[in-house]
Structure 1
Amino acid sequence: MNILIVEDDDRIADFLCRGLRAEGYRVQRAADGTAGLALAQEAARRQQSGDEPTVVVLDLMLPGMSGLDICQTLRAAHVALPILMLTAQASLEDRVQGLRLGADDYLCKPFDFEELLARLEALGRRGREWRPRTPNRLQVADLELDRDRMQASRGGQPLSLTARELALLELLMSAPGRLFSRERILANVWGTSEDPLTNVVDVYIRRLRSRIDRDGAPSLIHTVRGLGYRLEAPPEADR
């Protein structure tokens, strides 16, 4: 899960970034409201394309644009990212206003880090429940994946793949041309409990290639050394 922290206090932001990264989250930070709104809008676009859910941790008093204005702008644009207001403004009126403008939760400073984690986990689960409609059939060049039957084929010939290989293929085919890091693949296909130093991703990529790129078919899975993998059609397949 991605956490977007919109906080102008460097001390608090540094504490949050270090703590959340240590818990295994991917973290972004914006120091003013304008930058925070732009990052939230970009996260929403990525999520529409199948990227991991993002939760926004939003301060109220920000330079450039207030947290309330950010929240109201996102909700007016039908952006459904979960929003946790994190602020020193603890009055009942402030909390009610934040929730009415579209915040999903409200936590007052000073806060307990364990409580923050629990609230983020709950919001993350809610974010995963909301997913954009995805096509039942994915296709890249002559490679197809029927998501309803979880059956893959290439050139009309069925492919015999294990459940894990199908999950890996589905991830890569969900965003053709997108570079997926080993860490992202590991988190999406195996879960965060898997040892991050394992070479299981590389092993399964090799296995998947051996099943897909048969009989001289053009390779569809490409390695970007030191960064990860992408699946895309060869240029001639687009003509």
Structure 2
Amino acid sequence: MTVGAGAQPGAGPAAAPAGGLGRGARTWHRFHYAVGVFLLAYGVAVLASGVLLWGDRVDEAEGYFGSGPASGVLVAVKAAEGLLLLCAAAGVALRRDTLFVPPLAGWMAGFAMFAVLDVFTGRWGGLIQHLLYLAAFVVLLFLSYGLSAKAQLAGMRATAEPGSSSPAGPRGLTRTQEFALQAIDRAVALTGPRQRPVPPPAPAAPSPQPQPPSPQSPPAGQSD
């Protein structure tokens, strides 16, 4: 195949777009590692407790679903949690914050389902526990979204051209991203160390005024 006049080598369909491979990295913040470690620790903990305390988990499931399908439901739940754990591990390894959405949303859905079952079965202690877990994962999902917006904004500032503007907002972000970013900034401002007010500088000392010369006394032996 010959290259036509005016065509540049390497400009064919095989050339990848500039932002294709690094798109996930542009929304990855260093604090996403903390989110990923939390998801990994939680996933390993629930799977390990399910294996070590299998009898207790079966009894708990029987209180929700009856003695018949309890074991099958528990196996399906643990299999789903294993997939969520693998997805979180892939998010950390590939630095893709979007891979944190399935684990967060999946566990949130599980907590919401068990909270509804707690209401129907009268398990008020379990209801409070599941609602607290649900609230924690909602905050974690919101935090991950805000960190993505923060990383995206930093990338835009680094690559923005002078005079360029984006239709998505004054800083190139959507309204939801702006709201999440403002919430994170306010939380950091409330929990971070407060700056002490700088005392005003002390007034400068007045400069000494020059003293008038004293009259000289006449030499000894001279009189008027």
Q: Which has the higher strand share?
A: 1
The TM-score normalised by the length of structure 2 is 0.26
Q: TM-score, normalised by structure 1?
A: 0.25
Q: Which protein has greater RCO, CA pairs closer than 8 Å, 6+ apart?
A: 2
Report which of the two has the higher share of helix: 2
